[in-house]
């Protein structure tokens, strides 16, 4: 796991829910899965209610992640701020600007949750943010930063290998599915194959480039040897490594050749290039007709 953080603070900002519903930090999360969010908090007086930590889209204010930390009454007194953190149950992949926020369910102008902040050395590319009740929207303040830590996973993608299709003598189509992008952008994906089991990207492979969403993909695989048994695995790579699907195998067909021709009654039979039996009806004997035009 890795973190992004702003851990220094020299002041606090109160959440009076009659004025502001939440306080937090506006920032950009680039191709990451946020697993934990934490803030330094305290409380003034006694309040009944809970504290939620949330990740909210800037684009439409929809909630991506939300989890209750616990009771406001369990927070320490002002001046004794303590780091409090939640672990999200089902972290989502995020690649956009978001707000990470503290949102209590109660508070007023005296009894309220206090969020630790910094009013010096404010980050230029992030903003202190709060949800103002009377305007029903978020606003940013340039003179503060929230103290926070968010943790994100360092995960490779998840990929499955599916059965090959369009199998010919020396070619086929490999099929796969990226079911999870992992913790960063998938920069390369495709299929790898070998006549030895468990092929890797050090063996023959297709390179289909980056992808930005999950789904099925196919690889045109050529140059195989007829009659040989090959092993195939789908793969996907991001900045944390390469993941492989399970192995599938195929034995390539063998060309029988046009020389295998025989007569049954008045019909001439032969094997085509792919090994499929074919016939010409009502010809008679082979010596009476040239079969070359339709072989």
Selection from 254, 277, 255, 275 nearest residue 264 by Cα: 277
Residue 256 lies in a domain: no
User: What pLDDT is recorded for position 265?
Assistant: 73
The CATH number given to whatever domain includes residue 162 is: 2.60.40.10
Say whether both 116 and 55 belong to one domain. yes
**Residues spanned by the domain of 34:** 2-152
Rounded to the nearest integer, the mean pLDDT of the chain is 89
Say whether both 109 and 192 belong to one domain. no
Question: Has residue 138 got a pLDDT over 70?
Answer: yes
How would residue 288 be classed by pLDDT, with cut points 50, 70 and 90? very low
Say whether both 66 and 40 belong to one domain. yes
Question: Has residue 117 got a pLDDT over 90?
Answer: yes
Say whether both 97 and 163 belong to one domain. no
Number of domains the chain is built from? 3
pTM: 0.65
Residues of the chain with pLDDT > 90, as a percent, come to: 69
Say whether both 32 and 128 belong to one domain. yes
As a whole number, mean pLDDT of residues 50-67 equals 97
Say whether both 12 and 106 belong to one domain. yes
Say whether both 141 and 105 belong to one domain. yes
Residue 200 lies in a domain: yes
CA atoms within 13 A of residue 21's CA, in its CB half-sphere: 12
How many Å apart are CA 2 and CA 151, to the nearest integer?
6
Calculate ∠ Cα 2-158-235, nearest 5°: 115
The 10s digit of each residue's pLDDT in 207-265 is 999 998 999 999 999 999 988 999 999 999 998 899 999 999 999 876 654 455 767 77
Say whether both 134 and 33 belong to one domain. yes
| Three-state DSSP state, 220 | strand
Residue 190 lies in a domain: yes
Residues 50, 105 contacting (CB under 8 angstroms): yes
Beta strands in 133-228 (DSSP E): 137-141, 145-146, 148-152, 158-165, 172-180, 188-194, 204-205, 215-221
Share of the chain residues as helix, strand and coil, in percent rounded to the nearest 5: 5, 55, 40
Say whether both 10 and 35 belong to one domain. yes
Say whether both 70 and 184 belong to one domain. no
Say whether both 265 and 178 belong to one domain. no
Say whether both 128 and 148 belong to one domain. yes
User: What pLDDT is recorded for position 264?
Assistant: 72
Residues 211, 167 contacting (CB under 8 angstroms): no
């Amino acid at each position: 796991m890795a973190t992004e953080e702003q851990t220094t603070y020299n002041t606090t900002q109160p959440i009076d829910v009659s004025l502001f519903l939440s306080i937090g930090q506006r920032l950009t999360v680039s191709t990451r899965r946020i697993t934990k969010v934490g803030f330094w908090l305290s409380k003034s007086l006694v309040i009944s209610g809970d504290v939620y930590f949330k990740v909210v889209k800037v684009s439409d204010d929809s909630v991506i992640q939300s989890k209750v930390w616990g009771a406001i009454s369990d927070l320490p007194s002002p001046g004794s701020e303590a780091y409090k953190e939640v672990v999200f149950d089902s972290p989502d992949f995020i690649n956009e600007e978001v707000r990470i926020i503290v949102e209590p369910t109660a508070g007023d102008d005296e009894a309220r949750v206090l969020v630790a902040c910094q009013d010096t050395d404010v980050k230029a590319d992030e903003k202190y943010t709060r949800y103002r009740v009377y305007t029903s929207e978020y606003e940013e303040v340039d003179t503060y930063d929230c103290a926070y830590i968010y943790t994100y996973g360092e995960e490779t993608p998840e990929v499955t290998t599916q059965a090959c299709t369009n199998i010919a003598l020396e070619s086929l189509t490999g099929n796969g599915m990226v079911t999870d992008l992992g913790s960063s952008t998938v920069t390369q994906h495709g299929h790898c194959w070998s006549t030895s089991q468990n092929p890797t990207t050090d063996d023959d492979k297709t390179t289909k480039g980056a992808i930005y969403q999950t789904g099925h993909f196919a690889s045109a695989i050529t140059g195989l040897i007829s009659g040989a048994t090959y092993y195939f695995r789908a793969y996907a790579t991001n900045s944390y490594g390469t993941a492989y699907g399970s192995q599938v195998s195929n034995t390539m067909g063998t060309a029988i050749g046009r020389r295998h021709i025989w007569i049954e009654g008045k019909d001439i039979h032969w094997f085509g290039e792919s090994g499929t039996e074919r016939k010409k009806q009502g010809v008679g004997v082979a010596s009476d007709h040239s079969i070359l035009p339709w072989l």
